[in-house]
Amino acid sequence: MTLTGAQVEVPADPRALYELSLIEQWGDGAPVLPPTDAAIEALLAYTPDPADHVVGVLPPQYGVATVELVAANAAMAGVQPEAFPLVLAALEAILVPEWNAFGLTTTTSSVFPMLIVNGPCRDDLGIDYRAGCMGGAAGRGSMTIGRAVSLCLRNIGGQRAGETSRTVFGQPARFGMCFGEWEERSPWPSLAQRRGFPTDLDVVTVHGGKGTFPLADIHNDDPRGLLFLLAKSMAYPLANMYLGNADNGEVVLAVNPMWAERFGAAFPEMTDLQAYLHEHAWQPLDLWPAANRDILVAKGRVGRRNRVFLTAHPNQIVPVVCGGLGSLHAVALPSFGESAMQGVAARTLTSGAR
Amino acid sequence: MSTVMIRRPTAPPVAEVAAPTFRLDRPLTDLRAGIRTDAAWRSWRLLASDWEQRLRADGVASVTTVETHGQVGDTGAADRSHIGALAEAVDFAIVGLGTCGSCTSFAIADAVAIEQRERPVVAVVTDEFATHGRNMAKHLGHGNLSVLVLPYPLEARPDAELLEISAAYYPQALALLGVSRSAEVGA
């Protein structure tokens, strides 16, 4: 295996490497592991793609992402070799034009790739899907895969807040966000299945998420009543989805397994659940001040009885089952709007994809 | 101190390419003008409307406007298609507005699409996004794209103030397009 990336001699001392990474702007401010040839080659051994294969050209600075360069960043993040195909899959998903990396890497918004993993690999790779799955569970896969993608956007795509990225606030997920779906506790087909993938594949779905929007209730035991409140909460008046087209973008609704069980009894079919959420995810036009009202009217966003729906279609509300068994909470991952969720199955040496 | 060899994790900078730019080098008389607006920005729609009137008063044969509404999906595809049609139908174009991150990216990309069809074009951005706009033009291989920088912010200014800005910057837009006031120059 021949690696071709530029070599740099660095101190073997981890602290000195960390300091150097800050000076060279190789990292995200946290310590990094050295991308040695041994570390890179270990990662490359788990993908059928050759080192010089071009995954794509990453905006905003259009750096060429070869598999080797992606592996160097994955090595810095501490990605387990077996998990490397998921990093590549995530980048492939990001590079689908309809995900709109061109816009999302440069926007003033906080939006960033949020990775949702389905498939048999979740436990073996440490993809968090139970308690603390969006932060705190500390699974190796969740922490390193998301970070590797983030480092690729930074080091290959040249995305840097305040420079090439115009993000005003950023968000914690910019360090990397990757969680799994608790498929075994879901009453519905998994997200990947709903998007057409067989259950035996490991699939990364990338959502352009603006943040984690927490929702809670301890009073309502009725599934329809609770879903009504979730729908209304997702349709908050300053959501990005109200800025542009109702047709573009998805809002992910992360539902804990206890609520999922309750919702599944009322809505055995996912499409019925989505239809119910969509039916109530709206606000009355009068809620907005005149200036906003005028724009919403001009954009044709006002529906029957002066209702302004969050999305044009029910399938733009995307429930995913994950989280702890403590119930009481859900999390919405609001959309940037001008971005369509993409999923890609990981190609491993044993998947026969090549 | 012991050392270890690592591979640099950064992509080499993309080679700077400055595609040809085009100038009118003639008066506006009888030319076909194009203006790209963005449904997101009330301020730019007002300026563009004012500039459309000024262009007509200065003798252009026609002004075709395209208002963009999206970045992806059917709307985004329609926008890009309309920009392509605009480029084919006009002799020069004014493209705005870059006053957020992604809208600057798309305004620059649309201006580049017009320049690729060998039309004089000026991209309009606000000061806060000027560096980003120029960077995007450079990364898209059009480092010499003409960029007109307006004050920032434009939003939240009263119409009267916006129209003052419009009047002040219209001549600069024409200058960047290479419009000459003398009929001889374009002969």
pLDDT at A348: 83
Instruction: Give me A119's structure tokens.
Output: 């498939």
Residues of chain B in contact with residue A300, where contact means CB-CB under 8 angstroms, are none
Backbone φ/ψ region at A3: left (φ over 0), alpha (ψ -120 to 50), beta: beta
Decide if A98 and B72 are in contact by the 8 Å CB cutoff.
Answer: yes
Residue B111, in any domain of the structure: yes
Domain that holds residue B124: 32-177
* Tens of pLDDT, residues A324-334: 999 999 999 99
Residues of chain A in contact with residue B3, where contact means CB-CB under 8 angstroms, are 9-12
Residue A165: which of B7, B14, B101 has the nearest Cβ? B101
Residues of chain B in contact with residue A64, where contact means CB-CB under 8 angstroms, are 11
Residue A339 banded pLDDT, cuts 50, 70, 90: very high
Instruction: Give me A79's structure tokens.
Output: 């990605």
Q: What are the CB-based long-range contacts (under 8 Å, 24+) for A14-23?
A: A16/B1, A21/A76
Decide if B74 and A61 are in contact by the 8 Å CB cutoff.
Answer: no
Residue B93, in any domain of the structure: yes
Residues of chain B in contact with residue A244, where contact means CB-CB under 8 angstroms, are 40, 69-70
Measured in degrees and rounded to the nearest 5, phi and psi for residue A46 equal -105, 10
* Tens of pLDDT, residues A91-104: 999 999 999 999 99
Decide if B136 and A36 are in contact by the 8 Å CB cutoff.
Answer: no
* Tens of pLDDT, residues A10-41: 999 999 999 999 999 998 999 999 999 999 99
Residues of chain A in contact with residue B74, where contact means CB-CB under 8 angstroms, are 247
ipTM attached to this prediction = 0.91
Decide if A59 and B139 are in contact by the 8 Å CB cutoff.
Answer: yes
Per-window interface: B 153-182 vs A, CB < 8 A: none
* Tens of pLDDT, residues A259-318: 999 999 999 999 999 999 999 999 999 999 999 999 999 989 999 999 999 999 999 999
Instruction: Tell me how far apart the alpha carbons of residues A147 and A31 are, in angstroms, rounded to a whole number.
Output: 12
Residue B186 banded pLDDT, cuts 50, 70, 90: very low
DSSP string, A81-133: GGGHHHHHHHHHHHTSGGG-HHHHTT-SS--EEEEEEESTHHHHHT---STTT
Average pLDDT over residues A218-236: 97
* Tens of pLDDT, residues A185-197: 999 999 999 999 9
Residues of chain A in contact with residue B12, where contact means CB-CB under 8 angstroms, are 6, 63
Decide if B12 and A63 are in contact by the 8 Å CB cutoff.
Answer: yes
Residue B22, in any domain of the structure: no
Residues of chain B in contact with residue A109, where contact means CB-CB under 8 angstroms, are 101-102
Averaged pLDDT of chain A: 95
Per-window interface: B 56-115 vs A, CB < 8 A: 69-76, 100-102, 104-106, 109
Interface A-B, measured as beta-carbon pairs within 8 A, has a size of 158
Residue B138, in any domain of the structure: yes
Decide if A72 and B2 are in contact by the 8 Å CB cutoff.
Answer: no
pLDDT at A352: 39
- Global confidence as pTM: 0.94
Average pLDDT over residues B54-82: 96
State the best of B102, B127, B128 to mutate against chain A, taking most chain A CBs within 10 Å: B102
Residue B23, in any domain of the structure: no
Could you tell me which residues come within 8 angstroms of residue B9 by beta carbon, excluding any fewer than 6 positions away?
A26, A35, A69, A72, A73, A76, A151, A155, A156
Decide if B4 and A244 are in contact by the 8 Å CB cutoff.
Answer: no
Residue A353 banded pLDDT, cuts 50, 70, 90: very low
* Tens of pLDDT, residues A119-167: 999 999 999 999 999 999 999 999 999 999 999 999 999 999 988 899 9
Average pLDDT over residues B6-22: 88
Instruction: Give me A289's structure tokens.
Output: 């001040």
DSSP string, A235-278: T-TT-GGGTS-TTS--EEEEE-HHHHHHHHHH--SHHHHHHHHH
Q: How many domains does chain B have?
A: 1
pLDDT at B18: 87
Residue B43 banded pLDDT, cuts 50, 70, 90: very high
The closest alpha carbon to A118, from A203, A59, A198, belongs to A203
pLDDT at B182: 61
The closest alpha carbon to B159, from B31, B54, B45, B51, belongs to B45
Decide if B9 and A26 are in contact by the 8 Å CB cutoff.
Answer: yes
* Tens of pLDDT, residues A240-264: 999 988 999 999 999 999 999 999 9
